[in-house]
Structure 1
Amino acid sequence: MSHEVEDETTINESYSITVPAAIRREAGVEAGDKLRWRVDEEGTISVELVKQHYGAFSRLEPVDIGEPTHAAEDHDLVAGDT
């Protein structure tokens, strides 16, 4: 971030908030990102931006293990189970 930006928002009746545009721009908030909320012993609220990572596995190459697999059927198998 290049400089400090401060803004405020109002909590609506359903306890939803809107992140102000100036804050979104300065922090680089994008759709799919998450906000991690914390409250310390003094009651101070802090918010951390957790960026959504897309394509985390897109660079992985498939590995031939010598037998066919079926993810929908095999996903709960433990190593060694057949």
Structure 2
Amino acid sequence: MASNQVTDETTVNDGHSVTVPSQIRDALDIEPGDKLRWRLDDEENLTVEVVKQRFGAFDDLEPVDIGEETNAVELEKEFGAF
């Protein structure tokens, strides 16, 4: 986004929420699940950083072999989840 500067503004609603403008979302590839990290410095300058958060908390973990075959669907049925 260095040479193609995008400027837009939004309004804070009654619930103190804002919508990220579509041009900003597109330029920064912001998708559902991503987070915005807000920083306010001593001079009251606000910066917003996109934190990509598109995967679950356990996606980086390797599966563990517990030595037996499992069937998650059948286990869920046993506990009445279906």
Report the TM-score when normalising by structure 1: 0.66
Unaligned runs of 5+ in 2: 68-82
Question: SS at the partner of 1:9?
Answer: coil
2:60 aligned to which of 35, 57, 62: 57
Cα deviation, residue 15, structure 1:
0.7
Cα deviation, residue 35, structure 1:
0.4
Equivalent runs, 1:60-71 vs 2, <5 Å = 60-64=62-66
1:8 aligns with 2:6: no
What residue is the counterpart of 1:46 in the other structure? 47
Q: Which amino acid aligns with 1:62?
A: V
Unaligned runs of 5+ in 1: 67-82
Report the TM-score when normalising by structure 2: 0.66
**Cα distance between partner residues in 1 of 2:11 and 2:18:** 6
Q: Deviation above 3 Å: which 4+ runs of structure 1?
A: none
Cα deviation, residue 12, structure 1:
1.0
> What do residues 37-72 of structure 1 show as CA deviations (whole Å, max 9, x unaligned)?
0000010111000001426237x24244x7xxxxxx
